Amino acid sequence: MRALRTATTGMSAQQLNVDTISHNIANMNTVGFKKQRAEFQDLLYQNVERMGAQSSEAGTVVPTGIQVGGGVKTGSVYRILTQGSPTRTDNPYDIMVDGRGYFQVLMPSGETAYTRAGNFAVNDQGQLVTDDGYLVQPQITLPQDSKEVTISKTGQVSVTQDGVTAPTVVGQLQIASFFNEAGLDAIGDNLFLESGASGAANIGTPGSVGFGTLMQGYTEASNVDAVSEITSLIVAQRAYEMNSKVIKTADDMLSVTSNLRS
C-alpha cells in the first residue's frame, strides 16, 4: 500500500525537523548563535492518468488527470541570520558586530574561520584570542603595561599606558562579509568556513559601506526565540503522530484485505 511508504517519509522528515528544533533550543544561550529551520519538498508524483491526455476520438482531453504523491523530503536546513540582541558584559575584550559582518579567526591549520561570537580574551602574550585560544585577525597585541583598552565603533584598538598621557593605537580590527551568509560552512565552536555557496570573503573596516559597527563590552545573544521554538516543536510532534496513525490505518486496511474470505 502506497500510504505506508508515504507516511514513512513524513515521519522521517518530522524527525529531522525535531532534531533541528532541539539544536536551536540547546543553543539558546550560545553567543552569536543563529537558529536554523528545516524546509521540505514534495517527492515525485505517479501519473495514473496524465492531464492533457486525449480522452476520446472526438479530441477531448483530460482536464486535471490523476497524480498521486510519494511523500516528502528535506529540501534544506536554512540558517536564519537575524541579529541577536546586545548583551552587556562590561568586559573590555567582548565585542559585538552591530550589523553585517564576521570576525576573522586564524585556525591552527592556517585556515581563516569566521564568527559572530565576540567573547574574546587575551593570552599570555597579550594577543586578542577566542575562548579556544585562536588568534583574532588582524592580529592585535596589547602592551604589557596596558591599563585601559578602548575599541572604537570602527575597530581601532587603543590603550592607555603608564607614564603616557595620550592613548596609543595598537591595531585595527577588520570584519568580513559574504554574498550568501547562509552558505557558510558551520564547523562548530561558533566558527564558520568559507564555501562555494557563500562566495569569497569581502574584508572591510567596521562602519564602512556594507559593514556593521563594533560595540565594546557587549556580546550578541542567540536569535533563538523560545516561544516560537516550542510552538514549532508541538507542530512537529503532532505531524509525526498523524503520520504514524496513517501507517497504523494502512496496516489495519491490509489486515482486513488479508482476512477476506471468498
pLDDT in tens, 75-113: 999 999 999 999 999 999 999 999 999 999 999 999 999
Burial class of residue 136 in the structure, from the number of CB atoms within 10 Å of its CB (0-12 exposed, 13-18 middle, 19+ buried): buried
Residue 165 has pLDDT above 90, yes or no: no
Determine the pLDDT at residue 120.
96
Determine the pLDDT at residue 95.
97
What's the one-letter identity of residue 109?
Answer: S
Burial class of residue 30 in the structure, from the number of CB atoms within 10 Å of its CB (0-12 exposed, 13-18 middle, 19+ buried): middle
Confidence of residue 200 (pLDDT cuts 50, 70, 90): very high
Determine the pLDDT at residue 184.
96
pLDDT in tens, 51-75: 888 878 888 888 888 888 889 999 9
Confidence of residue 187 (pLDDT cuts 50, 70, 90): very high
Determine the pLDDT at residue 262.
52
pLDDT in tens, 119-162: 999 999 999 999 999 999 999 999 988 889 999 999 999 999 88
Determine the pLDDT at residue 191.
97
Question: What span, in angstroms and rounded, lies between the C-alpha atoms of 191 and 103?
Answer: 10
Give me the half-sphere count of Cα atoms (radius 13 Å) on the Cβ side of residue 120: 32
Question: What span, in angstroms and rounded, lies between the C-alpha atoms of 38 and 221?
Answer: 22
Task: Sketch the domain layout of the chain as residue ranges.
Answer: 2-81+225-258, 86-220
* Cα→Cα distances 40→45, 72, 243, Å: 15, 7, 15
Peptide bond into 143 cis (omega under 30): no
Determine the pLDDT at residue 107.
96
Determine the pLDDT at residue 94.
97
pLDDT in tens, 20-50: 999 999 999 999 999 999 999 999 888 888 8
Determine the pLDDT at residue 261.
66
Max Cα separation, the chain? 105
Question: What span, in angstroms and rounded, lies between the C-alpha atoms of 127 and 149?
Answer: 13
**Residues of the chain with pLDDT > 70: what percent?**
99
pLDDT in tens, 218-248: 999 999 999 999 999 999 999 999 999 999 9
